[in-house]
A and B are shown apart, each in its own frame.
Chain A
Amino acid sequence: MVQELNFKKRGEDANVYIGNKLVSPRITGICKFNKRQISSINKKGGEKAMDLRRIRVVMIVSLFALFMFAYDGQAKQETGFDDKEIRVGQWGPQTGPAAAWGNVARGSKLVFDIVNDEGGIAGRKIKYFIRDDQYNPSQAVAGVRELVEKQGIFAFVGGVSTASCSAVQGYLLEKEIIWISPCTGAATFYKPFNPYLWNMWPSYENDASVIAKFAIEKKKFKKIAMFYQNDGYGLDSLDSVKYRLSKKNMELVAAIPVEPIESDLSSQIQKLKASGAEAVIAFVGPKQAAIAVKTSVSLDFKTQWMFSYNLSDYEMMNKITDGLWAKEGVITSAFTQEPFAKNELTAKYTAAVKKYAPTERWSIFYMAGVVVAEPLVQVLKKVGKNLSTKAVADELNKIKNFQGVGPKVTWTATNHMGPKSVQIWQCGPKGEIITLQKWTENEISRD
């Protein structure tokens, strides 16, 4: 007895049940079908081949995925180094919304390439790993764990994004892995003290304070306004600028917040214009900085824009502002030395870029990667043969007035804070860097 005869829409795929047993089309010959039904049942052979092909595709895809899964890295390495290599890692947004900052992680590679070409350190080469976190903390944690547990990492350098750095900080501390400087000036990385984390970034508080000092003392501005991103980055610096001004019995003529996602800034710029500010100290991201400068020009608001060191890549800023960055003579602070300063170190690095990474642009953020890698190499060289986390940590704690292409740093066993000084630059008419003020320390730092 035929229980169910289920033809799909295409009229090809038949399920024929006798009782509750599915029978093959051949057996169903005993049932009475009309011609059309029989021909459609016979077609099922073709359908079967199609099925097979699809199944094969699915199997190939899953096998491929399994292969990737099966590759498990080398055997677990506890120490992060052996007689042949020292393993160093970094995460960074190589893809995703902040991919433009991916060159920080690639910049560190330059330093290690140079060292390895010189023969390594005490016979050991530095093996360097980059993991792409797409600017997403959960990806950063996955990458860091994979590196630490599968590859075995001796030290981490750098790390862009405050969120990603915050997400991995606890884990790295627990594993007692040396970490030289998250690429951010946020306060969470030195308060409270973390014995395995050394900061190289000037805090935003110090940065803002030095900019304000320059505006008041050198430029003699009387009316200063603040334009800040409504988060830790902006609020830390607002607080610091206010403190600096209060020392001179001055007040901000306006303090205008902006949400990091806003792209129409005309109302904020109108408010700044209405305040009559001679200078605007702005702590915003690159995109909003560009929009702010463009809007101020179109609204005919003549002011001196002063930005944080995060915007000191003039080449890039000129590109996204169509040259307004140079035309307006924007002032920023800076945490590196000039990219093309005439000295031996710069010459060495620019030559190395040509050799190892000819497609990279020698720019501020690429240099940032170099900045965080320099002290590690310096200390590893000092420690030499008898390598251990403790030995390296002890040497890092003894670093005094060390300067590569970044700021001058000094660390002690109880103080791993970043430097308190920044430079002040101005963008010249051809997009070149004019150094207005050499390294200046924030003498009223509250850190």
Chain B
Amino acid sequence: MDMKRAYYEDIELFKSGVIIFWTISLMIVLFTIPLYASNYYLYLFNLIMVHVIIAVGLNILVGSTGQISLGHAGFFAIGAYATVLLMTKLQVPFFAAIIIAAFISAFFGFILGLPALRLEGPYLTIATLAFGLAIMHIIGHTDIFGGRTGLMAPPLDVGVPKLGWSWILKTDVSKYYLILIFTIIMVLVAINILKTKAGRAFVAIRDSDIAAEVIGINLTIYKTLSFAVSAFYAGIAGGLFAFVLGFFDPVTFNLLLSIYFLVMIVVGGLGSVMGSITGAAFITYLMYALFKNVREVPYLGSFLVTISERWLTITGLDNMSAIALGLVMIGIMLFEPLGIFGAWIRVKKYWKTWPF
């Protein structure tokens, strides 16, 4: 809606003072959350931020480049396993381990990007789906990866223990800040990627890959790059997730998780970083907290329990949480095909001409 007079205006990070103001306010809120939120919410926030990182990465692939992936749980698993194994088996410091893990994940993303050069639509979906499932079973089969029993994450030492400089993050608060910093960096990087030549090439490929090739975009490079970048994000997210949960087994990274990741960006808004963030936060919250404690809500709780026992099955109330999640998703798709981000644009547009 705004006029652009120069190239720089198109790529600058903060387009107006209003945006700077709200960004700073948001940062202040995020950095002070541990002061007033209990540990339970910090765990939830940690999960949300991990999901934000992976959703932002997935949106670069799906929303911006137009390639689909149902295998992101696989990259997520690679990140988690590689980080933990590098730290426990090779005593690599945490920061190095998580970055190496993300590069390993990116390498697998590159490999998976190769068939994407020839496959499209449902065929690509099947190829990525197979990748996600294969990773889960390869890990389950291999003893060094902990097999099906799973792995325990080591203490989160952000120092360099080999040099005798160790700094172990034990509390949820310290993990929260670590993940918050990672999230901010990864989101900034994503916003910037989309404003570079590579980002515009991704969008061109999404809109029409033939046209993109005609204007000189190397499809081989940019499609595989998109997969690699997206997998890198998933790798970082996986490395952090390992420490949020503390324990994981191959089944943790199942197909359903890949689908949830996709749901996050579709509900949030395809092709937008803000959409990924809101989508990840919204869906994670619904998955983990919606209706979970409905039994303990005064009056309403006992009312619902009675209804559930009288008219539904014994687990009727528990299934309501899944049903509510589904209904919210359907509702958003029906009323807001562009997702939460689309709703936001609409609200913004509506108020722009207010009160006319």
Contact A170 B149 (CB under 8 A): no
Interface size on A, residues (CB 8 A): 63
Known: A129-B296, A142-B43, A142-B47. A95 touches B318 (CB 8 A): yes
A327 to B111, CA, bound (A): 52
Which residue of the partner chain B has the closest CB to A187?
A: B149
What's the Cα separation between A299 and B3 when bound, in Å? Answer: 76
Residue of B nearest to A169 (CB): B247
Whether B315 and A102, one on each chain, are in contact in the complex, defined by CB atoms closer than 8 angstroms, is: yes
* Contacts known (A58-B343, A95-B315); A231 close to B148, Cβ less than 8 A: yes
Partner of A149, one of B40, B292, B296: B40
Q: Mark the stretch among B117-125, B181-189, B216-224, B344-352 that contacts chain A.
A: B344-352
Contact with A along B188-203 (1 / 0, CB 8 A): 0000000000000000
Question: B38, A149: Cβ atoms under 8 Å?
Answer: yes
Give A165-190 as 1s and 0s: 1 = Cβ < 8 Å from B's Cβ atoms: 01101110000000000000010100
Question: In the complex, A132 Cα to B141 Cα: how many Å?
Answer: 29
**Count of B residues near A, CB < 8 Å?**
59
Give the complex CA separation of A209 and B333 in angstroms: 56
> Taking the complex as formed, is A336 at the interface, i.e. its CB lies under 8 A from any CB of chain B?
no
Q: Is the CB of A58 within 8 A of B335?
A: yes
- A24-B356, A69-B285 are contacts. A57–B314 as well, Cβ < 8 Å? no
Judge whether A166 and B2 touch: CB under 8 Å. Answer: no
B50 to A, closest residue via Cβ: A138
Partner of B331, one of A57, A166, A261: A57
Which A114-173 residues have a C-beta within 8 angstroms of B? Answer: 129-132, 136-139, 141-143, 145-146, 148-151, 162-163, 166-167, 169-171
Q: Is A68 an interface residue (CB 8 A)?
A: yes
- Of B140, B285, B286, B296, chain A has the most CB atoms within 10 Å of the CB of B296
CB <8 Å contact, B292 and A146: yes
Question: Distance in Å from the Cβ of A90 to the closest Cβ of chain B?
Answer: 13
Q: Is A302 an interface residue (CB 8 A)?
A: no
The residue that B148 contacts in the complex, of A15, A58, A260, with Cβ under 8 A, is A260
The reply to whether A54 and B296 form a contact with Cβ atoms under 8 Å apart is: no
The docked-state distance in angstroms from the alpha carbon of A130 to that of B305 is: 13
Of A15, A65, A163, the contact of B286 (CB 8 Å cutoff): A65
Total inter-chain residue pairs, C-beta < 8 Å: 151
Q: Would you give the shortest CB distance from B231 to chain A, in whole angstroms?
A: 21
Residue pair A163, B343 in contact (C-beta under 8 Å): no
In the complex, which residues of chain B have a beta carbon less than 8 angstroms from the beta carbon of A142? 40, 43-44, 47, 288-289, 292
Known A137-B247, A141-B43, A149-B40: A232·B315 in contact at CB below 8 Å: no
Q: In chain B, what residue has the closest Cβ to A151?
A: B296
Say yes or no: B290 contacts A22, CB within 8 Å: no
- Asked whether any CB of chain A lies closer than 8 Å to the CB of B137, the reply is yes
Chain B hits for A68, CB < 8 A = 289-291, 294
Q: Which residues of A contact B16 (CB under 8 A)?
A: none
A51 x B252 contact (CB < 8 A) = no
Q: Which residue of B lies closest to A149 (CB)?
A: B40
Contact between chains at B289 and A76 (CB < 8 Å): no
Once A54-B336, A54-B346, A55-B347 are accepted as A-B contacts, the answer to whether A166 and B293 lie under 8 Å apart by CB is no
Instruction: Across the interface, name the chain B residue whose C-beta is closest to A74.
Output: B296
Cβ of B5 to closest chain A Cβ, rounded Å: 9
Q: Is the CB of B319 closer than 8 A to any CB of chain A?
A: yes
Other-chain residue from B3, B43, B295, B332 in contact with A20 (beta carbon distance below 8 A)? B3
B249 an interface residue at 8 Å Cβ cutoff?
yes
Q: Are A163 and B296 closer than 8 Å at their CB atoms? A: no
Q: A69-B289, A99-B315, A138-B244 are in contact. List 7 more A-B contacts (CB 8 A).
A: A55-B350, A58-B336, A71-B297, A94-B318, A138-B288, A142-B43, A163-B247
